[in-house]
């Protein structure tokens, strides 16, 4: 549905949704109860039409992507997230820590030519401190000045500041001075404290995540934001999570994009202790649409193909998403938890996905500066 040729209300079959469409047309903000209705209504087509109309008003038919590289500098972690299949303890044969030289060597690999964004998130290694990150960022920016450094979940920042014996403020100041330019949005999971206790024992709470994000924004460091869905949470937990992100964005305007992350149910403790079926396609699409409708102050909504498949992400462009994330080469964390998608896509593959869905591919960097799409 690249364009809407009829009045918005003519796409809506569930009469309960009509007041929401009218609110949107008046430019009014949707409420918590509206969010609950968006999760309850069987009329996904009507919800998609509303989300798509918001998306078209903001971005027209543009669909963004970035040429990006993923690296996790260590998988060593002693936090206990029951959904994680990536972490290792130091004595584990699969444990690793990348040195600064390892990372530079990896980036010199010809497959990384043209990379605009280096996205790094990793475990909470008890031996890594601020000096490792300062040296890493300075070295990368010296060798690859054009690569944008997007590093750390909010909980990594909190952990490595404490591990270094310094405040979060000082940790951020020193990392920014060394070359840190933005942060991914991970580690948010679900903000509700009861659910959080069951899926990520020992991980810092919602207030910490939000406080660190606020500090980043105050220091001019933009971040993304996320939510992990499709495990043991209920719709009211999701609405609460999204509205807490919206509240923070009202104060700081520091979130660049929101990414709904589908829980992957393989090889992790949560999948062994709970019978959790994978999210269905309509659930994935609804998450994108609800986010577009509730997060009226966050510019970009991503359809993250790594977790929902490239084909469904392509459809997500008609459910409110305006961004397919990036080429990514090569993702580890979701794949170790069971993601069946390829470890990366070429620029040509992403461009084709966008064109075939009826949208206009736009290559961007992490700050949404745009570049002509190379054939």
Residues at the contact surface with ligand SF4, assessed by CB under 6 A: 77, 79, 81, 84, 86-87, 123-124
Question: Among 347, 352, 239, which residue's Cα sits nearest to residue 290?
Answer: 239
CB of 123 to ligand SF4, least distance (A): 4
CB of 37 to ligand SF4, least distance (A): 32
Name the residue nearer to ligand SF4 (CB basis): 37 or 81: 81
CB of 203 to ligand SF4, least distance (A): 6
CB of 234 to ligand SF4, least distance (A): 22
CB of 84 to ligand SF4, least distance (A): 3
Backbone phi and psi for residue 74, each to the nearest 5 degrees, phi listed first? -155, 150
* Tokens read off for 192: 């509700």
CB of 80 to ligand SF4, least distance (A): 6
Backbone phi and psi for residue 302, each to the nearest 5 degrees, phi listed first? -95, 145
Question: Among 185, 171, 183, 182, which residue's Cα sits nearest to residue 134?
Answer: 171
Name the residue nearer to ligand SF4 (CB basis): 121 or 341: 121
H runs (alpha helix) in the chain: 18-25, 32-40, 44-59, 100-108, 130-143, 154-163, 168-178, 193-199, 206-218, 235-252, 269-273, 281-294, 305-308, 310-316, 333-336, 347-356
Name the residue nearer to ligand SF4 (CB basis): 82 or 249: 82
Name the residue nearer to ligand SF4 (CB basis): 29 or 80: 80
Name the residue nearer to ligand SF4 (CB basis): 35 or 184: 184
Name the residue nearer to ligand SF4 (CB basis): 79 or 252: 79
Q: Give the span between the Cα atoms of 151 and 126, in whole angstroms.
A: 18
CB of 88 to ligand SF4, least distance (A): 9
Beta strands at 62-66 and 360-364: parallel, antiparallel or unpaired: parallel
User: Hunting for tokens 């799409």 — which residue is that?
Assistant: 373
| CB of 213 closer than 8 Å to CB of 248 | yes
Residues whose CB is less than 8 angstroms from the CB of residue 182 and which lie 6 or more positions away in sequence, other chains included: 148, 149, 150, 221, 222, 223, 224, 256, 366, 367
Name the residue nearer to ligand SF4 (CB basis): 314 or 336: 336
DSSP letter at 319? T
Q: Give the span between the Cα atoms of 219 and 297, in whole angstroms.
A: 20
Name the residue nearer to ligand SF4 (CB basis): 123 or 260: 123
CB of 276 to ligand SF4, least distance (A): 17
Question: Among 93, 55, 53, 57, which residue's Cα sits nearest to residue 76?
Answer: 93
């Amino acid at each position: 549905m690249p364009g809407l040729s009829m009045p918005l209300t003519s796409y809506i079959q569930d009469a309960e949704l009509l007041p929401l469409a009218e609110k949107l047309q008046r430019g009014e903000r949707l409420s918590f109860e509206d969010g609950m209705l968006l999760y309850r209504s069987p009329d996904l087509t009507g919800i998609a039409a509303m989300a798509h109309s918001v998306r078209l008003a903001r971005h027209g038919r543009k669909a963004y992507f970035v040429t990006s590289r993923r690296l996790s500098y260590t998988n060593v972690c002693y936090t206990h997230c029951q959904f994680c299949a990536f972490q290792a303890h130091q004595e584990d044969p699969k444990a690793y820590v990348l040195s600064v030289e390892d990372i530079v060597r990896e980036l010199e690999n010809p497959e990384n030519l043209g990379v605009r964004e280096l996205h790094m998130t990793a475990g909470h290694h008890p031996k890594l401190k601020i000096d490792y990150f300062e040296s890493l960022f300075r070295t990368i920016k010296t060798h690859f000045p054009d690569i944008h450094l997007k590093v750390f979940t909010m909980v990594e920042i909190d952990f490595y500041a404490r591990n270094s014996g310094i405040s979060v403020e000082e940790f951020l100041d020193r990392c920014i001075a060394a070359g840190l330019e933005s942060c991914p949005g991970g580690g948010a999971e679900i903000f509700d404290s009861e659910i959080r206790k069951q899926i990520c024992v020992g991980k810092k709470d919602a207030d910490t995540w939000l406080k660190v994000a606020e500090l980043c924004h105050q220091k001019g460091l933009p971040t993304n934001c996320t939510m992990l869905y499709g495990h043991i949470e209920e719709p009211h937990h999701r609405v609460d999570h999204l509205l807490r992100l919206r509240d923070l964005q009202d104060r700081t305007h520091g979130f660049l994009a929101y990414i709904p992350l589908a829980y992957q149910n393989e090889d992790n403790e949560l999948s062994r202790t709970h019978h959790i079926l994978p999210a269905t396609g309509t659930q994935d699409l609804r998450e994108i649409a609800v986010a577009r409708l509730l997060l009226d102050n966050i510019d970009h909504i991503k359809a993250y193909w790594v977790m929902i498949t490239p084909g469904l992400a392509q459809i997500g462009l008609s459910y409110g998403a305006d961004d397919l994330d990036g080429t990514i080469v090569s993702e580890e964390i979701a794949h170790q938890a069971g993601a069946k998608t390829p470890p990366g896509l070429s620029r040509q593959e992403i461009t084709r996905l966008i064109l075939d869905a009826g949208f206009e591919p736009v290559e961007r960097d992490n700050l949404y500066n745009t570049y002509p799409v190379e054939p």
